[in-house]
Amino acid sequence: MNVIAQMDALDRRIVALLQNDGSLSHAELGERVGASAASCWRRVRNLEQQGVLRATVRLVDPDRIGRGVNVFCNVRAKSHARDVRGPFEDFIRSRPEVIECFSMSGDWDYLLRIAVADVADYEAFLMQTLLEHPAVGSASSHFALSMTKYTTSLPV
């Protein structure tokens, strides 16, 4: 059964609030949604068990840690064989500067979002790391000039 069908209006309000502030206590959550803290605790636990709610994290300001440059890099693989894709995807997961990676349809096989300090930092990653990987056929890079919207919240 689809998990979304199992969520009632109260679950949706809880999820919406937690997406914006994962540090809310069960008591604060209860106050905001009109339920008891114990009820919120049970609902949050159930949503975690269903996989609706995943890790609780704190968002970091990339500029304050010297990673304020976003690069979007399209990657074309040399091969689509499973024994090539698996090691490449493991390699990407191991790279801390790669913030997101999507397997894509169309002309490019992957789209990476890479957070770096500056152009030189990206050039070193691209030339000495990414393009050196045996699975990579080619890459095309695009530097974000500014961020118009960024959110981790999904509509519920």
Q: How many CA atoms lie within 13 A of 78 on its CB side?
A: 12
Report residue 115: phi and psi, to 5°.
-105, 120
> What's the confidence (pLDDT) of residue 3?
58
Compute the mean pLDDT over every residue in the chain, rounded to the nearest whole number: 95
CATH class of 62-143: alpha beta
Residues 17-73: tens digit of each pLDDT? 999 999 999 999 999 999 999 999 999 999 999 999 999 999 999 999 999 999 999
Give 127's DSSP letter: I
Residue 1 has pLDDT above 70, yes or no: no
What's the CA gap between 21 and 47, in Å, rounded? 16
Domain ranges within the chain, ordered by starting residue: 3-49, 62-143
Residue 154 CA to residue 156 CA, distance in Å, equals 6
> Would you say residue 2 has pLDDT above 80?
no
pLDDT category of residue 6 using cuts at 50, 70 and 90: confident
pLDDT of residue 93: 98
Helices and strands (DSSP H and E) totals, the chain: 5, 4
Largest CA distance in the chain: 56
CATH code at 3-49? 1.10.10.10
pLDDT, one tens digit per residue, over 95-130 is: 999 999 999 999 999 999 999 999 999 999 999 999
